[in-house]
Amino acid sequence: MILAPKKGLEFFWFNVIIIDNDNIKPSERLLYKLSESRADLILHPIRMRIIQTLVGGAQLTTLQISERMPDIPQATMYRHLNKLLKAKLIEVIEQIQVRGTMMKVYVLTSNGGEIPTQDLKMMSSEAHMELFMKFVASLIGDYGTYLQQENYDLEQDGVSLRQLELHLTDEEYMELLQGMRAQMAKHIENKPTNERRRRNIVTMVIPGVKHN
């Protein structure tokens, strides 16, 4: 399974799509080359961050997005915005004048952060592993950036790396996710301030092997 956005409450990674690969013949699976695919576009670490700034219906100019990602050079930001725009993952809804300059206002398109379910179903195990590795690589980049700070304190900063095994029915699992979703919903529209820092909360659910 893979975690993707949910309409209405647009968490970038929080809606569960269950992939039933048992119904797909091996001969029908495509060994995807992810170069410049929708998955590749979404899972680039900088583009993932841009998409995350636009979840929840946010409407932001390039300047506002850059203010939320001050570590990204402006030229790099424009390049990745253009890639997302050309791929129709984001769109411009209006242009406004800011300090005498016309600025585009970007929003996430409908399902702009999702990898289509049909694409996922048709991918081989090798392609799914490649997709997973791209996702993990983006996390490594984020953690590396954090550790490059001159001063950091894992405990004070609230860094947490944990793994927990639970035995749950499908119903119990959905109840757990809905509870987590409700907690996240309280803060999804928080704006960055001097007191509020970016906290990258990642959920990865890997089920055990099915036993008949």
Low-confidence ranges of the chain (pLDDT < 50): 1-35
In order of their start, the domains of the chain are 34-145 (1.10.10.10)
The pLDDT of residue 174 is 93
CB 17 within 8 A of CB 115: no
pLDDT digits (tens, 9 = 90+) for 1-22: 333 433 333 333 333 333 333 3
